[in-house]
Amino acid sequence: MKQFFVALLIGAASAFAFAPVGLWPLMPLAIAGLCELIWRSKSMKQALAIGWAFGFGQFLVALNWLPTSFTYQANMPAWLGWVALALLSLYLAVYPALAAGLAWRFGHIHRFVLMLVLAAAWPITEWLRGTMFTGFPWNPVGVVFADTPMLDWAQFIGTYGLSLIIVFVGGAIWLTARGHKPARNALIGYLALLGVMYLLPTWPVKNTEKSIRVVQPNIGQEDKWRPGFSEEAARRLAVLSMRPGGQRPRLLLWPEAAVTDPLEDELNVDRPYAELERQRAAALVAPPEYLLTGGIAVFSKDGRSISGAANSIFILGPGGREVDRYDKAHLVPYGEYLPMRPLLSAIGLSRLAPGDLDFASGPGPRTFALPGWGKVGFQLCYEIIFSGNVIDRRDRPDFIFNPSNDAWFGRWGPPQHLAQARLRAAEEGIPVIRSTPTGISAVIDAHGQIVKALPWQTAGVIDAQLPAPASPTPFARFGNIIPLLLGFALFLSGIVLGRTRR
């Protein structure tokens, strides 16, 4: 029982390695402590419990922003957010528990084997966490490298490969403390390499000659859906969009659901109003400019009743002409749809976003051609956290637009979201442009470096030249096959070594 609570505390402490605190060395140190606890376990059952406690503590602290979203929903009590966080953490902790159980099963007879198997199993279980039951890959441990030179390695091995490295380093720290000389030498070599990488210059930013303006209106979630506030929101967006400065022509970029009234409505009675909304929004651009904005699309099969809706990104040209539309594919459970609606709605639960109609999902990553601006890929809000699943690989875009509404996510959510967007840019070699209502909006270059950003809860604009894409990276060509193969190869090595040690 004592080891269980120690694992819980170590896991909770490791959460401070993530943004916004960003003390990344805490993560390998916490992994070192986890290795010792797994080694001391008397059975696989105990090792599973240790891994689960570590994961529960980490997720419970790192995802502390989740309950904030419940404070904006009058139909559900705010305390329910903490229940939701605990239940989600109970589930997410299953994956580090699996890694710990495998490490004990194959490595309990030899410390080095335990370290190898844990480093191999961790990224594999993280990948499973990102794919099972619609997936929730928020905060893989490799994301703590986002503010270090190790970010450059994402182009080769991806985020899950970075997770493998950080667990391996944590295991090396543990073995070094146990007097293992090869591990000590490997650790010294890694630290020396990391020190040299810190001294090397960062990748130079390569820009195109295309100008963009990213708008951050600082509209909080408490105001966004307030009756009558849509006019004030439109005024703020217009004032910021037309603020003097920057270069014209430009691409104008607004956040997710910047316009709360539908921008496309198939109901016969509401079609003209949706058209007027598009015209009002697009009045801020002139040929050859475009406005890319988040909005809502409402569907109807007969023109008289609503049959569905989508959380979308609209490409609007001058005069309100709708050039194209992207519908969000990876929807947020409880946020954009209510799972098991007949059962949960009967007991008084509802989705967090206003309205009783669940959003429909789109077809997935697509690339849109913008004459004069190149090709753009869209990832709406938290879709950007899904490593290896953010672009159409048959039609590679020149940049990704990632509008989001991080106003739901409290103080810790926005910087964590930004860190994961940086990893997608580095993995794919494609710039990512983020526009959010309350921050953190940012222009991220093709190597994951932040070119310009607006702080949290600040109204303003980012005027910048659109960064140029890099050549397709190894990760862009092969995706998560690379870290998974590395993980399985290390796993098999650990098993073989373990058998020879017997």
What would the pLDDT profile of 277-306 be if each residue is shown by its tens digit?
888 888 888 889 999 999 888 887 777 777
Question: Average of pLDDT values for 341-366?
Answer: 65
In the structure encoding, which two tokens stand for residue 116, read together?
């190898």
> What's the rounded Cα separation, in Å, for the pair 296 and 262?
5
- Which residues are catalytic, by number? 256, 328, 381
Helix axes 481-501 and 94-107, enclosed angle (nearest 10)? 30
Coil/strand/helix, residue 434: strand
Any idea what DSSP says for residue 407? G
Of the ranges 14-28, 219-233, 341-355, which is most confident? 14-28
Contacts of residue 436, Cβ cutoff 8 Å, sequence gap at least 6: 216, 255, 256, 403, 404, 405, 406, 407, 414
Interatomic CA distance for residues 224 and 81, integer angstroms: 20
Q: How far apart are CA 409 and CA 417, in angstroms?
A: 9
User: 225 or 159: which carries more pLDDT confidence?
Assistant: 159
Alpha-helical runs (H) found in 362-471: 413-428
Question: How many Cβ atoms from other residues are within 10 Å of residue 87's Cβ?
Answer: 10
Q: Which two tokens stand for residue 141?
A: 């441990």
CA torsion angle for 453, 455, 458, 464 (degrees, to 10)?
Answer: -10
Q: How far apart are CA 326 and CA 381, in angstroms?
A: 13
Contact indicator for 400, 431 with CB cutoff of 8 Å: yes
In tens, the pLDDT along 112-169 reads 999 999 999 999 999 999 999 888 999 999 999 999 999 999 999 999 999 999 999 9
Contacts of 286 (CB under 8 A, 6+ apart): 248, 249, 318
86 residue type, one letter:
A
Alpha-carbon Rg for the chain in angstroms = 24
Q: What is the pLDDT of residue 447?
A: 96
Nearest of 13, 89, 18, 381 to residue 81 by alpha carbon = 89
pLDDT > 90 in the chain, percent: 59
User: For the chain, what percentages of helix, strand and coil (3-state, to nearest 5) are there?
Assistant: 50, 15, 35
Domain positions in the chain are: 2-201+479-501, 207-469
Please report the pLDDT score of residue 126 as a whole number. Answer: 97
Q: Are 121 and 106 in contact (CB under 8 A)?
A: no
pTM of the model: 0.92
Lowest mean pLDDT among 32-41, 102-111, 214-223: 214-223
Phi and psi torsions of 466, nearest 5°: -65, 120
The mean-pLDDT minimum among 255-264, 415-424, 444-453 falls in 255-264
Confidence (pLDDT) at 201: 79
The stretch 9-22 carries a mean pLDDT of 96
The conformation of residue 337, written as its DSSP 8-state character, comes to: B
**Is CATH 1.10.1040.10 what the domain over 207-469 is classified as, yes or no?**
no
Give the residue ranges of DSSP H helices in 108-250. 111-129, 154-177, 181-199, 221-224, 230-241
Q: What tokens were used for 473?
A: 């990276």
